[in-house]
Amino acid sequence: MLVVSGYVYKDGKFFEGTVYIDEGIIKDVTRGINRDASIKGVIIPKPHNAHVHLLDYIAKDATEERDLIRLVAPPNGVKHRALREASDDMLKNALSIARALAEKYHLGLVTEFRELGKRGASLGRPSEIFRVLSRPKNPDEAKILIKISDGFNISSISDVGYEIAEEISRIARSHRKMLGIHVSERIREDIDAVLDLNPTFLVHAVEATRDDLVKISSEGIPVVICPRSNAYFGLFPKVDEMIRVGIRVLLGTDNHMINSMNVFEEAEFLYKISRVIGQKIRALDIIRMLFRDFTHDFNVEEGVTADKIIVIGDLRGKPELIVLNRHSSAPIYDLSSPRVAMRSA
């Protein structure tokens, strides 16, 4: 049995506890630190990178362009021109790199916005932790893609005809699959029209007003924020307001051409830059954004498999600050690793 002790994350907070793992499954979680534990540290779920564009890795660091429209807007942004010109081998390589990086950064779940319609969706998922939302050009293609995707993504209602968006939404709902939509990233968009599409979640909402955010909250729609990407374009979401009105906020790293997939870095950036722009966001509120899906939270608890858990090997300070500040410098133990298992008590 592997015994791990320290700060345990559950239900949005930390407590001093000990986790007992046998045959790859958490068998028990008790209060109090076990001084004889094999591993000590901050015991957390693997995080969710809730929004990323993986294929644009093919244009990684290719330009200093900082204009949102010229760089990433369809159909003629730098990114989309590169995607059209890319070979299948280049695209497959981008996904292979994403798989390796997800393992390196200890990600537990990745929700991807996949471009290139049928061609893009046919590339498959990098691994089982990746959720692929494809982007159909029209309803006819959507009927094909829904069979090979986890759902759809819409670049924004400003980019597609609303009737097309409605039909894409209908197809997703009829198959009980997901629908993610970029909203109000650069300009404010009609939030009522967006919510009428019954999205599973929204991305960005940078230019949303407080009334817009209240409507999003009242409908129970989560919002994925991508602070590093927004800051790159001179933008920033009203994260403190989102929290105040009760929106379920998640973190994503957005474009792989300009950001790493390491969502811990996203969390650290948000915590440190938020004070600069006058937003007082608690460390624990940001931590909660890491360890959740769109409908439920991740916890360290009985029945969870060890491959969903990591330990940051440091107990100096508050656990939420250890996660934010020392995720890249302290040792990280992947509890599914055979080398870690050999340390069993």
pLDDT digits (tens, 9 = 90+) for 229-282: 999 999 999 999 999 999 999 999 999 999 999 999 999 999 999 999 999 899
Residue 130 has a CB neighbour count (10 Å cut-off) of 22
What digits encode the pLDDT tens for the residues 183-217? 999 999 999 999 999 999 999 999 999 999 999 99
3-class secondary-structure state, position 25 = strand
This model's pTM is above 0.85: yes
The C-alpha torsion from 245 through 246 and 252 to 254, rounded to 10°, is -30
Report phi then psi at 60, rounded to 5: -55, 125
pLDDT of 338 above 70? no
pLDDT per position as a tens digit, 111-168: 999 999 999 999 999 999 999 999 999 999 999 999 999 999 999 998 898 999 999 9
Residue 345 is predicted with a pLDDT of 35
| Nearest of 337, 328, 304, 338 to residue 105 by alpha carbon | 328
Q: Is the pLDDT of residue 339 over 70?
A: no
Fold match, 2-46+298-341 / 48-290: no
CA distances to 2, 3, 206, 273, 303 from 342, rounded to whole Å, are: 8, 11, 47, 40, 21
Residue-averaged pLDDT of the chain: 95
Q: What is the pLDDT of residue 41?
A: 98
Confidence band for 340, pLDDT divided at 50, 70 and 90: low
pLDDT of residue 161: 87
Could you state, in order of their start, the residue ranges of all structural domains in the chain?
2-46+298-341, 48-290
Gap between the Cα atoms of 43 and 32, Å rounded: 13
With beta carbons less than 8 A apart as the criterion, state whether 156 and 168 touch: no
CA–CA gap between residue 151 and residue 95 (Å, rounded): 18
pLDDT at 335: 87
48-290 — its CATH code? 3.20.20.140
Residue 225, phi then psi, degrees to nearest 5: -105, 150
* Count of CB atoms situated within 10 Å of the CB of 136: 25
Tell me the CATH class for 2-46+298-341.
mainly beta
